[in-house]
Amino acid sequence: MSTAGQKIDEVEAAVERLVSQSLADLRADFPALDQQVNGHPLAYLDNAATTHKPRQVIEAVANYYERDNSNVHRGVHELSQRATLAFEAAREKVRAFINAASKDEIVFTRGTTEAINLVANAWGGEGVAAGDEILITELEHHSNIVPWQMLAQRSGAVVKVAPINDAGELELEALADLLSPRTRMVALNYVSNTLGSINPVAEVVRLAHDAGALVLVDAAQATPHLAVDVQELGCDFLAFSGHKVYGPTGIGALFGRAELLEAMPPWQGGGDMIEQVSFSGSSYAHPPARFEAGTPNVAGVVGLGAAIDYLECAGIERVATHEHELLNYAEGRLREIPGLRIVGTAAEKTGAHSFVVEGVHPHDIGTVLDSFGVAIRAGHHCTQPLMERLGLVATARASFALYSNHDDVDRLIDALLKLTELFGDG
Ligand code: PLP
């Protein structure tokens, strides 16, 4: 059994190895990438849906179950204390990852979807009145549309939608025009999962705050690709998912400004979120515990902490530069394909290219590419209203991660060329 000193040495050595390695070498940390699919080596380009996990994350989760598995915040025994320490250490890692002022501003959730629902219910339940307005954008994922529509149904509030231009960029002036004294919340994504557009979030925050509205940022597609700083953005809430930043599924986080969380009622009741319970009534714990009812996903939290460590060692700036170069390379190569049109040509993009090929349904593109071991996404990407705005039912989407490389892109292009031969003949 290793002593604490040995353990620290091991961790320092692992960090040193990660920091000194090139991104290309880090690919070997991801076991799932090393497999054959339909007789071909896997080229995984569905990273906007979920990323693969490095060994370091898989081992952190396994170690937790093998050594520390226990419930948190409750037990006085050694294992429970270890689990609690690991759980709260991960909260501090999330705080630092998005530069929140305090770790009490970090609530663990199942992911982005649950985080937005939490705000729509807990914040939305208090004083959003008939006629109040929630402003979203045409770029939103269903998880940043439906919770607000449900709130509107309950409260009589109105959901308004800021438009985009044909390139997939937010129309800032139109957004500003839609702000009114009744606007209570502006909810928008930082990066579009479908088009890869990067939204000018800091600018939107400024406009919204001037109008007296709060801002919730859906950062599900930003945290994997950009350095996210909630204090610099000035946002009031921000949500992200662990599984899109190389962590486990079923875990994510909500950032909420301390005074807002403090003023919000709980949205789920149960263990761990109370101060005192009696049959005549209950009082509630301070945030973040107030919003974390029940046994949490401790292994997920530990894995998320390990994923953040991994991403920080890889270096988010280095990842952003690499992915930007790859996105440009992919754009150039996609333009070689006859009949292919890139959907979403915003000046500021990251992470993904959506495209359509004349005469071929996106699902057929996905199926043919899969037969060559190339994994992409085809469909509406949980953005049906955006598809409608673009006059499409679906697109194909190739999306990138820190381990993606030129070979993945070349494999995509080779498979697309075969697809066009196939459909060209038909
Ligand atoms: N928002 C955006 C922009 C997304 O891309 C996704 C997932 O694809 C979500 C929200 C929902 O994330 P999750 O399913 O992890 O809750």
pLDDT tens per residue, range 207-236? 999 999 999 999 999 999 999 999 999 999
Q: Quote the pLDDT of residue 85.
A: 96
Q: How many angstroms separate the alpha carbon of residue 182 from the centre of ligand 1?
A: 28
pLDDT over 60 (residue 92): yes
The protein residue whose alpha carbon is closest to atom 6 in ligand 1 is 220
pLDDT over 60 (residue 2): no
Amino acid at 252: G
Q: Average pLDDT, stretch 102-119?
A: 98
pLDDT over 60 (residue 265): yes
pLDDT over 80 (residue 8): no
Q: Which atom in ligand 1 lies closest to the alpha carbon of residue 244? A: 15
State the pTM of this model.
0.96
pLDDT-based confidence at 74, cuts 50/70/90? Answer: confident
Q: How many angstroms separate the alpha carbon of residue 111 from the centre of ligand 1?
A: 8
Q: Quote the pLDDT of residue 21.
A: 77
DSSP 199: P
Q: How many angstroms separate the alpha carbon of residue 167 from the centre of ligand 1?
A: 22
Q: How many angstroms separate the alpha carbon of residue 193 from the centre of ligand 1?
A: 8
Q: Measuring CA to CA, how many Å separate 331 from each of 51, 336, 374?
A: 21, 9, 17
pLDDT over 90 (residue 75): no
List domains and CATH numbers for the chain: 78-312 (3.40.640.10)
Q: How many angstroms separate the alpha carbon of residue 128 from the centre of ligand 1?
A: 25
pLDDT over 70 (residue 4): no
Pocket around ligand 1 at a 6 A CB cut-off: 111-113, 141, 143-144, 189, 193, 218, 220-221, 241
C-alpha to C-alpha distance for 334 and 353, rounded to whole angstroms: 9
The answer to whether the CB of 253 falls within 8 A of the CB of 94 is yes
The protein residue whose alpha carbon is closest to atom 14 in ligand 1 is 113
Top mutation candidate among 382, 395, 397, 400 for ligand 1, by most atoms within 8 Å of CB: 382
How close are the terminal C-alpha atoms of the chain, in Å? 64
pLDDT digits (tens, 9 = 90+) for 275-303: 999 999 999 999 999 999 999 999 999 99
C-alpha to C-alpha distance for 43 and 214, rounded to whole angstroms: 41
The protein residue whose alpha carbon is closest to atom 4 in ligand 1 is 220
The least confident of 17-26, 132-141, 228-237 is 17-26
C-alpha to C-alpha distance for 55 and 253, rounded to whole angstroms: 22
Q: Quote the pLDDT of residue 3.
A: 58
Asked if omega into 288 is within 30° of 0 (cis), the reply is yes
| Cα R_g (the chain), whole angstroms | 22
Top-confidence residue, 359 or 8: 359
Q: How far is CA 377 from the centre of its chain?
A: 16
The answer to whether the CB of 171 falls within 8 A of the CB of 138 is no
Q: Average pLDDT, stretch 44-48?
A: 98
Q: Quote the pLDDT of residue 327.
A: 98
C-alpha to C-alpha distance for 64 and 12, rounded to whole angstroms: 19
C-alpha to C-alpha distance for 67 and 150, rounded to whole angstroms: 42
Q: Quote the pLDDT of residue 23.
A: 82
Name the phi and psi angles at 300, rounded to 5. -65, -40
Name the phi and psi angles at 188, rounded to 5. -145, 155
Catalytic residue positions, numbered: 382
The protein residue whose alpha carbon is closest to atom 5 in ligand 1 is 193
